Each structure stands twice: as C-alpha cells, then as structure tokens.
Chains A and B, each alone.
Chain A
Amino acid sequence: MNTLVVLLLILFGGGIIAYFAYNIHKIVGDIWLVLVGFAASIYYIGYLDVSQVLNIHLAGFVLTLALNSFSWIFGLLIAVLLPLVALYSIPYMKGQDRLGWFYMLFLFSVGGMYGILMAGDWLTLFIFWEIMTWSSYLIVIYRRSEDAPRVGLKYLIFSAIGAYSLLTAIVLIGANVHSLSISKFFEVLPMHSLGFKVLVGSLMLIGFGVKAAVMPLHVWAPDAYSTTPMNYTSMFSGALSKMGIYGIGLIVINLYYHSGISLAGEIVAWFGAITAVLATYYALIQKDAKRLMAWSSVAQLGYIVAGLGIGTKLSVFAGIYLAVLHGLFKANLFMAIGAVERQAGTTNFSELRALIRKMPWTFFSALISVIVLAGIPPLSGFVGKWMLYESMITSGHYVIVVFLFLASVAGFLYAFRFLFGVFLGQEEKEFEHVKEANPFMTVPMLLIALFLIVLGTFPGIMFKYIARSMADLGFYGVTYKMSVLTNDWGQSINMQYIAASLVIVFVLFLIVLTWVAYKNSRNVTTKDIHTSGEPPSEEDNYHFSENFYRPFQRAFAFVYKYAITPVYNEFARGIEDFFQYVRRLYTGNAQTYALYVLLFLAILFLIAKNIH
C-alpha cells in the first residue's frame, strides 16, 4: 500500500476514532491521542517512502500525492512536534468539555498539513488547504469565550481572502497551462508572459501570505494565536504557519528567481522585513504573555519570509533553518505559557509575579527558547540569524539587513519583558500555592529545550536535511559542516570554540564563586531589598509591570500612531454602507418588483437583439 496514504489514514482515521474514544472516557481518548501522535511521527520518520507517487483520477482531474525533500523537512517539524504536543495536551486540556470534537479537529488539521506537503498538484493542495483552514477555524472558536466569535470571524475572513486568491490562481493556471501539476507548472513557466507570472505569483503569495501572517495580512494572527488553547497554538504558530512559508518558498524561488523576475522576490523580502520590525514594536507593548508571543510569531515569520525573498543560496538555507527552528522554540514558548496559564490561572503581566521559584523547569525551557528567539550565541537561534545577516550583507542587501537588525535588537526588549513579566520580579502571596506543572507538560518542553541547546553547537545535525531539501528548490551543491558556518565571501566561524570558551569561563567562575560564597550565604526574600531606607511592608508589592517600555514608546511614538486594523474596519464600514444602499432595492412593494422584472426583460431583449 502507498505509504503516503497510510500516513493520511492514520491522522484522519485517528481523528474520527479520537472523537468516539473521548466520548467513551477521557483516559481512553488520551491514550488513543498519544498513540496516534507517536504512530504518525514514527511512521513519518521511519517508514515513509519519499519516492512513492500516487495518482487518483477523479472527475476528470488527476490528484497527485508525492513528497519531495523540500516538503519533507516541514513534515519532519510536524512529526517532531506532534507527539510532544499530544503528551502535553493530556494535563493541559484536563477538565475541558467537548474534547473529542477538539482532538478530531486537531488531528484533521495535522492531516491537512501533511496533505498540503504531499500535494503534487494545485487542486490537492487547495483541498487540504481548506481542510486545514476549517479545522483550525473551528479550534479557534472552540473556547466559548467572549472574544471567540469576533476572533474566529476575523481569521475566517482573512483565510477566505487567501483561499479565493489561491483558487483564482489555480483556475488561471488550469486555463493557461492545461495541467494542474505543480512541477509541470514550474517547468513550463519560463515560456509564459511576464504578466501571467506576476499575476499568478501575486495571487498565490496572498494565499500563502495569510497563513504566514505577512503584513498587511497579519491582522488575524495575534488574536487567533492568543485565543486558541495553548496546546493547539503551539502547533498553530509552530507548524501551521509554516505551510504559508512552504508555499512562499515554492513561489518565490521557482516562480520568481528561476524565471528571471528577481525584483518580485526583493519586494517579498521587503514585506518580510517590515513585518519583522513593526510586529516586534507591537510585541513589546503587549500586556499579556500570549499576545506578546503571538506578535513575536508574526515578527519571526517576517525574518523567514525575508530570507526566502532574497533568494541566494545562503539566505534560503537560513530561511528554511529559521522556519524549522521557529517551529520548535515558538511551540515550546506557547507550551510554557500554557503551563503558566494552567498553574497560575492568568497570563496577564500585571497580575503575574515571580514564578521562577515555583516553576523552575518551565522557566528553564522558556529561558532557552527566549535565548534562541533573541539569537544570542551559543544557542541555535544565533546560527540562523548569522546565516541570514551574512547572506544579506554578502549579496548587497544592506538596507534590508539594517531593518532586520533593528527588529532583532528590539526583540531583546520583548524577550526580557516576557521573562521578567512571568517569572521574575517581586513575589506575591497570591501565587504562593502555585506548583510546577505536570511532568507530561514539562518533559516535552525540556526535550525541545535540550535539542535547541545541542543544535547551537552542532547545527550540522539539521543542515543535512536542509541541504537535501535545497536541491528540490534548484540549489545544487550546497555544502555544510557540523559546526563551521561559512558565508559567501569565505569568512567562517566555528561554533564549537565559542561554546567552549563561554562554557569553560562560566563553569570555572561558577565553581570559584560558589566555593567562596557558599559558607556565609544569607538567603533573602524579594522584599528584603535596597529601597533607600524605605523597606516595603508585607502588603506592599513593588513589582514593575506597568508602562514597561514607556521611554521607548515615547521615543518611537510615530510608529505606534499607525495601525492597519482601523483601515480594514473603515473598509468594512464602507462595504456595509454600500450594501445598505443596495438593500433599498427591496422595497417590499410588488409593483416595484414587477418594474424590475420588466426592466430585466427589456435589457435581455436589447442584448439578444444585438447578438446575432
């Protein structure tokens, strides 16, 4: 049997069975969910035959399922996240109702993602794209909170815009190329006119850009990411958004660079860079950990889009690397936020206080992920950032690299905001009862954190797969080394020496400092601090959480003045007014309707008379 179909059967069949399993008992459902998660993951990594192709003839169309190395790496990301998220979900979703419904949609959306990656023709891609969109939409509105309908509607509207432009592009391809096969399309593309290429490319980029949350199509993302239950958000932001990146990668490289319109790629890169900067600026003024990370997702995806848009060997390499990395660390961060939400009951910065002593493991994994997010060496985030910047500098894109650098320096601000707001600061009695999260939640997070640490010094573990996937995009002869990074001008750095130097000095001084200071150490509380002779009383709490970056906001007030949401709202109001006007046609008077019929017949008659 075809292995691709088996994987889809595991996920879709598993989803339907999960629905019934949860209706029997929660434990049965949980066991089934974890089984499906591990089965799909192990099957994908171990048993999937990449060379297999399946053609289904259906109503005159040929639906093709085929995987290539480029899509395989995105599938690998899903395969790594799925079992970990499944384990995490068991304690996280405890006490929620309609679990069967939730997990059925969950597995459907994962199946949809795999379907997109396997799609060999545009129609299959579109079908699975819609399955993924609909199941994720239903999960967004799963929690019956006040916000859910509004957020869901926003997500649905933008998804619909994306889907329609995707469909238009597919219809255009069908009409002009007479084949819906993806590889065939890219083959014959150079023969077509410039207008066709630009039109189809732009429509496709709108379709994929919605899921990748590229500005100005990002409006749904911060709301949807923060409203959804966190175990799905880690897939949502970690894996589902990468489907948009997958599509953008296909289009930008194959359609623009291989058929000679590199300017379009540059424009895409600029969209990515501006997304990165503005989303970072919005992330650092958020008052809620979920929303902060949601905006941060938008910003990080901006980097990836910029990397793919530049289109040199190193930048595409960096883009794919960052895409996989973002999937891992952002999933981890949303899991950590979910753990905090579950244990402390809130994710609002103005309520949370100093959870570091209560939730040390969650803090540790969040810290590692934040360091990776900020791109600080010697962890894996730096590897991606380095390759991205060097690729841009060596290919002469030095204005865009300044924008990305700005986004990344401002990224330190929200990174600290998140860690400080959730885990540090003055302790509060209200949170004394908080305990560390369930091991089912912490162990998956720690596993990802550990992998992110190792990947910093030995990025070659992942380079192997990325180098292979580059061949599918038309970049042949990509070389890589285990720990040495090289740019296009021939300069290189060795991550092993950097990690060794940092670790040796760190450990050396740790031993000395602990040895010398241990004996007379006095443990003090967060109230026992230097406050210029005004010791805080029991009731006082000097936690710093309001107006965190006020001076920064003042300095960059001109950025915060503008937002795209009012523009969309204005547009929607305009449309509404227009239809209010159109509505007046329905007067309710039979004579008016009779007039309409008469007018219609008259027009029909005139037209018919002129056509011979």
Chain B
Amino acid sequence: MNIWNLLLSAIVTTLLGFIIGVTYMGIRRKIVALAQNRYGPPIYQNFLDILKFWSKESNIYHGVMHHLAPLWMIAMAITILLIVPTQYGSKFFENLSFNGDLILILYLMPFGQLGMALGVGQTGNPNSAIGVTRGLSLLVGSEIPFIMALIAVMIQYHTTSVTDLVRIQQEHHTWIMFSSPFAFLAALCVLPAMFHAGPYEVIIAPAELASGPMSEFGGKYLGTMMSAGSIFMFAKLTLFVDVFMGGSTNWLWLIVKTFTVYLFVIAVGIIMPRLRTEQAIRRLWGWPLVFAILAFIQVALF
C-alpha cells in the first residue's frame, strides 16, 4: 500500500465526513425546529458555529487533561471513520478498512469518551461528572443488545470484519437487515442511545440544564469537540449502514442510506420524551434484548 495515497485518501475522507456530519446536524436542528413549530436556523448554521468557536480569542484552561480531552475525541472519531469502509470496491477510499474488525471498532469508541470524561473530571464541575456517570451507565444499556446483534451477524456470516460483511452483501445482492431481521431490529432500537439522542439524551440534557459533560468546554475546545462529534456521528451511521444495509459503492448512495437512518434517529428523538437513566437502561434491556435473543435463536437454528 502506498503511504501517500493512504494519507491523501484519509484527508479526503475526513473532510467529507466532517462536511456531511456537520450538515446532518444542521438539518437535524432545522427538522426539530419545524416539528416544534419554530422557524429554526439555516442548515449551514453549524459551520458558522464551529467557525465562531475557533475564532474565539480567550481560552479557559483547567489543566492538562482538560486540554487533551477534545483530542482524544477527534483521534477516535477520525480513526473509526478511516476503519469503517465507506466505498465498496474503491481502491482510493480503502483507508484502513482492512483493519475493520467489529470488536476493534466497538472498543475504539470508549477511547474518546474516556478522554472526554477525564477532561470533564479535571474541571471540577459536578454536573459534568454526573453527565459522565449517566453516559457510562447508558453505555451498559445500549452496548449489550448491540453487541449481541453484531455477534449474531458475525456468526451467521462467519466473519468478524465489517469489510467482509460489506463484500458479502454486495456479492450476494442482499442486505443483512432482511436476512437477519431480529439482529437489525435490536440494533435499530438501541441506535438512538448510541447517538445520545431521542429518549436517551439525559446525558447532555440539552435545552433546559446548563449541565452535561460539555459545560466547561468553550472556544477552540468546543469547536474541536463539535467537529469530532459530527465526524463520529457520520462514522457510526456508516458503520450501521455497512453492517445492516449493504454498504455502498459511491458517496451519493452512502449519503442517501445514512441520512435515512439518521432521519429515523431524529424522528424517534422528536416523538419520545426523555427517560431517566434507570428507565433508559431498563428500556434498552427490554425489547432490544428480546430481539437480540431472537437473533441468537435464529442463528442457532438456521
């Protein structure tokens, strides 16, 4: 593999991921506003926000871990975006997808969250720490049905690599969401929790509480974090599309598929009221777990 080619494609992929992710967030704000009978900001508002954060002059410094926190996030987000296969069959956009192991991707996600949690911890803001404990508790809720769905798929197709899963789906012209419907349902149910959206937004509790992990970050830190967040969001959507919806062969198709999934997350978020942490965990261990067990039974029987 050519190292320069890899670097170039990594930069292009990251930029595309950034642009798409931030646009999605803008669209989300617009849709939520329309649903609440507001006019809402323009779609490109989040670009302006990030630009504004980066041009802030003063900078609040709480210590080393606080300084490093956004970096863990962005390192994790970009690495996952490079590992998840974005384009099936494209030599240029191969990136690190030969490393596309599902367990690896699942374990990379806490890398950013841990860094963020440490940064939040050093600020000394109790509300932020409470947000982190909520986030970690929810992680237990969402991760278990999700990993069960993934394991069911892995065993069914005899591979642990998301790249292989995309290849199998493309070659057989099928989507895993049809061949293992229960695994798909389980993953779909926990999807809002993985985006900290929908009824599972107790971590950041937007709109009425000045709390949540982000509250002590401002200016460039928040700008970096927002960029990382949007890249990470797009990477997660791509992962979901790759595993269950056949991946894609070009960027347009990828955007259509990921946006459809994202619309689902937005819609659930608009409809459902927020849950308390323990309610959220119980709900995540309810139907999603049932679907996941059904997926296991399906794998065991067929």
> Which residue of the partner chain, among B62, B103, B140, B148, contacts A526 with CB atoms under 8 Å?
B62
Task: Tell whether A405 is near chain B: CB-to-CB under 8 Å.
Answer: yes
Which residues of chain A are near B136, meaning CB under 8 Å? 412-413, 416, 549
Which residues of chain A are near B125, meaning CB under 8 Å? 529-531, 542
Would you call A354 and B133 a contact (CB within 8 A)?
A: no
Which residues of chain A are near B61, meaning CB under 8 Å? 517, 521-524
Would you call B67 and A405 a contact (CB within 8 A)?
A: no
Which residues of chain A are near B210, meaning CB under 8 Å? 530, 532
Q: Which of A377-395 contact B (CB under 8 A)?
A: 377, 382, 385-386, 389-390, 393-394
What is the CA–CA distance of A551 and B141 in the complex, to the nearest angstrom? Answer: 12
What is the CA–CA distance of A356 and B278 in the complex, to the nearest angstrom? Answer: 31
Interface residues as binary, A524-539 with B (CB distance below 8 Å gives 1, 0 otherwise): 1111011110000000
Task: Tell whether A555 is near chain B: CB-to-CB under 8 Å.
Answer: yes
What distance in Å separates the Cβ of A299 from its nearest Cβ neighbour in chain B? 14
Among B121, B125, B299, the one with the most A-chain Cβ atoms within 10 Å of its Cβ is: B121
What is the CA–CA distance of A225 and B103 in the complex, to the nearest angstrom? Answer: 32
Which residues of chain B are near A554, meaning CB under 8 Å? 278
Task: Tell whether A514 is near chain B: CB-to-CB under 8 Å.
Answer: yes
Which residues of chain B are near A357, meaning CB under 8 Å? 63
Interface residues as binary, B125-156 with A (CB distance below 8 Å gives 1, 0 otherwise): 11101101110110111011001100110110
What is the CA–CA distance of A497 and B1 in the complex, to the nearest angstrom? Answer: 12
Which residues of chain A are near B101, meaning CB under 8 Å? 386, 491, 493
What is the CA–CA distance of A514 and B65 in the complex, to the nearest angstrom? Answer: 13
What is the CA–CA distance of A32 and B62 in the complex, to the nearest angstrom? Answer: 45
What is the CA–CA distance of A185 and B278 in the complex, to the nearest angstrom? Answer: 53
Residue on A with the closest CB to B123? A529
Would you call A555 and B151 a contact (CB within 8 A)?
A: no
Q: Which of B270-302 contact A (CB under 8 A)?
A: 276-278, 281-282, 296, 299
Would you call A393 and B160 a contact (CB within 8 A)?
A: yes
Given A390-B103, A494-B99, A505-B75, residue A402 in contact with residue B111 (CB < 8 A): no
Which residues of chain B are near A401, meaning CB under 8 Å? 151
Binds A, one of B41-49, B190-198, B212-220: B212-220
Given A377-B111, A390-B160, residue A551 in contact with residue B67 (CB < 8 A): no
Task: Tell whether B86 is near chain A: CB-to-CB under 8 Å.
Answer: no
Given A396-B155, A502-B76, residue A555 in contact with residue B281 (CB < 8 A): yes
Would you call A424 and B122 a contact (CB within 8 A)?
A: yes
> Which residue of the partner chain, among B127, B164, B277, contacts A555 with CB atoms under 8 Å?
B277
Which residues of chain B are near A601, meaning CB under 8 Å? none
What is the CA–CA distance of A261 and B60 in the complex, to the nearest angstrom? Answer: 63
What is the CA–CA distance of A427 and B124 in the complex, to the nearest angstrom? Answer: 8
Interface residues as binary, B103-129 with A (CB distance below 8 Å gives 1, 0 otherwise): 110011011001001100111111101
Which of A's residues lie within 8 Å of B, judged by CB? 354, 356-357, 360, 367, 371, 374-377, 382, 385-386, 389-390, 393-394, 396, 398-399, 401-402, 405-406, 409-410, 412-413, 415-416, 419-420, 423-427, 487, 489, 491, 493-494, 497-498, 501-503, 505-506, 509-510, 513-514, 516-517, 520-527, 529-532, 542-544, 548-549, 551-552, 554-556
Q: What are the 5 closest A-B residue pairs judged by CB atoms, nearest first?
A: A526-B124, A424-B121, A551-B277, A555-B281, A555-B278
- List 20 interface pairs A-B (beta carbons < 8 Å), by A numbering: A376-B107, A377-B108, A393-B160, A398-B299, A402-B151, A409-B139, A413-B133, A413-B140, A423-B121, A425-B124, A491-B159, A494-B99, A502-B75, A502-B76, A509-B70, A509-B71, A522-B59, A529-B124, A544-B130, A551-B137
